[in-house]
Structure 1
Amino acid sequence: MSYRIYSSYLRLHNLAQRLSIVNIDVDNWSNVIIILDYMHDINPAQLVLTDDSLGTVVAKLNRERSIAVDTESNSLHAYKEKVCLIQFSTREEDFIVDPIAVGNLDILRSVFANQSIEKVFHAAEYDLIGLWRDFGWKVNGLFDTMVAARTLGWEKVGLAAILSKHYSVPINKKFQRADWAARPLNDDQLSYAQLDTHYLLKLRDYLEMNIRKHRQWPEVYEEFERISEASVRKSRNQSSSRTHNDFWKITGARKLSGKNSAVLRELHKYREQIAAMRDVPTFRIIGNSILLDIAKRCPRNVNELSDIKGMTPGQVRRYHKGVLKAIRRGLLAKYPARPKGRRIDPLISLRYESLREWRKVCARKRGVASDVIISRGVLWNLAEQNPGNQKELSLIQDLGPWRRENYGKEILRVLCNIVE
């Protein structure tokens, strides 16, 4: 062993730096053994850049009963984010598909739609929303390792924490904020992307064993199905969510006077135009709190704009003309109609709070987070629709058969005890 370690020292040192194990020493045997195991266990992922190579990969995926999947997007670097990588792992190989390079991605549609091929994600919702938004792919046959871990009552359910605990795999988190649309991708990025799926099938097997041991499979399977359906709905809602009235969503906007709210509307519109033109997130142009402050103070010139707290010299230099014009337009514009606040029936609020307290007690008994029992959205649907019997309970969106059977009587009891 010592010959292998010393002869590979340079390789180990370089890899250690990549994995953020900065102070590794050849006398630190545990770290060295971890890295040796890591190097021995993983072959480089196959980078898929052409239609032909994707066809070969799809043929392999279609032969599998379970595949691990993850995606990387560029939400911190683009006005409209997009899926920039799709990673797959089988029990023998890892693949990284580059959607920017491959011409015809639609041959993957059948893989995601095939219920008989289990797709293993960790924290699937974000990935599923992106796959539907960008490609129109609905994922059937979902297994979400984070959902399974939370159902078992695990406290630390982030992938990095799980891989570190169960497989002694250190994850370099610096690429979580990377611009995954930038090309070329370096070796460190590809290694990071590969690790996101490489261990998921092993983790899935371990979780399934424990889920079945505790007879929780119907419960967790029902949650997988709910996430798959709900992600499509959320993606559709997000696709049509941007409007000129979004400035009202800025914290503090509804407290502005009519004049200042008109200015904020024009500032928001200007920021959206610049962000779209430059293809960067709006916060990289001017942040919400700064935009609100500008609308409040209505600076008349560059000097007054420079005095706004948080405005950098670079922002003033790049955007002062557009900002000052937007302010002038806002001062001359009609005041925007304030959105009508949704008045919530006090009875609905009372039902929701009663159900929430019941859920909290259930979760405490089981040693799980409250939303493992029933999600917040479903709890709100129950409070709004106030079902009085099992038939009405079956009409509640996303409340599946297992939860109706196991929690239905208690839910109806809680609702029945509320005096209207």
Structure 2
Amino acid sequence: MTTYVHEGDLPVGVLAGASAVAVDSETMGLRLGRDPLCVVQLSDGQGDAHLVKLDRSTYDAPNLKRLLTDPAVLKIFHFGRFDIAMFSLHLGVVTAPVYCTKIASKLARTYTDRHGLKDVTKELLGVDISKAQQSSDWGAAKLSDDQVAYAASDVLNLHALKTRLDDMLAREGRDHLAKACFDFLPQRALLDVAGWEDVDIFAHA
């Protein structure tokens, strides 16, 4: 397994030919409109990870943007709602098509309320990932080795998680419901960006 760190953009040809790419991001915080997008990490499920340390002065990353919007490439997230909103806000793209392992977990694993990436990965794959660097300074001029390892770990297991969760969704007869949720997810993220982040527009009240 190798983790590559790229400055500014994904190099031409990297991840070319992949039909599904795991994606995650690191930001300076969790508030849309306040906290900038700093790093995007990706993996094609073959064991390597690619980290793009973005130029926050321009967010000019045409190769990354092309991949995020490629209709032939499924983007796999865990809690994709936040990442997709960040990509819309800072990169100016609507990411699609997408799959979210957190949504899949909530629909398939109704026997638990533990749907964080660490919990789902531990139960379904037997892999214990560390979240120690989650709240570190992702805007630093140079990422530490611990940050690089942490960012990579967030995408290296998503393909395997998708496979396990797909089996569970099919077993429970909820795969079509999950697909409908994934199709709507980019629009849910755009609602967040537009100011409806904390409003359930489907509620009666």
Which residue of 160, 165, 172 corresponds with 1:202?
Answer: 160
The 3 A distance-change label for structure 1 pair 68 and 150 is same
- What is the rounded CA distance, in whole Å, between the counterparts of 2:69 and 2:16 in structure 1? 11
Displacement of 1:118: 0.6
Instruction: Output aligned runs, 1:1-400, within 5 Å.
Output: 43-49=1-7, 51=9, 54-56=10-12, 59-75=13-29, 80-92=34-46, 93-100=48-55, 104-152=60-108, 153-155=110-112, 156-237=114-195, 377-380=200-203, 383=204
Percent identity at matched positions?
20
What per-residue deviation string (whole Å, max 9, x for no partner) do you get for residues 312-348 of structure 1? xxxxxxxxxxxxxxxxxxxxxxxxxxxxxxxxxxxxx
The 3 A distance-change label for structure 1 pair 186 and 200 is same
The 3 A distance-change label for structure 1 pair 121 and 154 is farther
- What is the rounded CA distance, in whole Å, between the counterparts of 1:220 and 1:154 in structure 2? 17
Displacement of 1:175: 1.5
Displacement of 1:221: 0.8
Displacement of 1:116: 2.1
Displacement of 1:76: 7.0
Q: SS of 2:173's equivalent?
A: coil
How many residues end up aligned between the 2 structures? 199
The 3 A distance-change label for structure 1 pair 76 and 50 is closer
Q: Which has the higher strand share?
A: 2
Give yes or no for contact 1:72–1:180 (8 Å, CA) kept in 2.
yes
The 3 A distance-change label for structure 1 pair 213 and 115 is farther
Displacement of 1:103: 7.1
The 3 A distance-change label for structure 1 pair 64 and 172 is same
- What is the rounded CA distance, in whole Å, between the counterparts of 2:101 and 2:153 in structure 1? 15
Displacement of 1:205: 1.0
TM-score where L is the length of structure 1: 0.44
- What is the rounded CA distance, in whole Å, between the counterparts of 1:220 and 1:165 in structure 2? 20
Q: SS of 1:48's equivalent?
A: strand
Q: SS of 1:202's equivalent?
A: helix
Give yes or no for contact 1:64–1:90 (8 Å, CA) kept in 2.
yes
Give yes or no for contact 2:42–2:49 (8 Å, CA) kept in 1.
yes
Give yes or no for contact 2:70–2:96 (8 Å, CA) kept in 1.
yes
Structure 2 unaligned runs (5+)? none
Give yes or no for contact 1:133–1:236 (8 Å, CA) kept in 2.
no
Structure 1 unaligned runs (5+)? 1-42, 242-375, 385-420
Give yes or no for contact 2:88–2:190 (8 Å, CA) kept in 1.
yes
- What is the rounded CA distance, in whole Å, between the counterparts of 2:142 and 2:25 in structure 1? 17
Displacement of 1:188: 0.7
**Could you say what the CA RMSD is over the residues aligned between the two structures, in angstroms?**
2.5
Q: Whose RCO is larger (CA < 8 A, sep 6+)?
A: 2
The 3 A distance-change label for structure 1 pair 237 and 378 is closer
Runs (4+) of structure 1 exceeding 4 A deviation are none
- What is the rounded CA distance, in whole Å, between the counterparts of 1:76 and 1:124 in structure 2? 13
- What is the rounded CA distance, in whole Å, between the counterparts of 2:8 and 2:186 in structure 1? 29
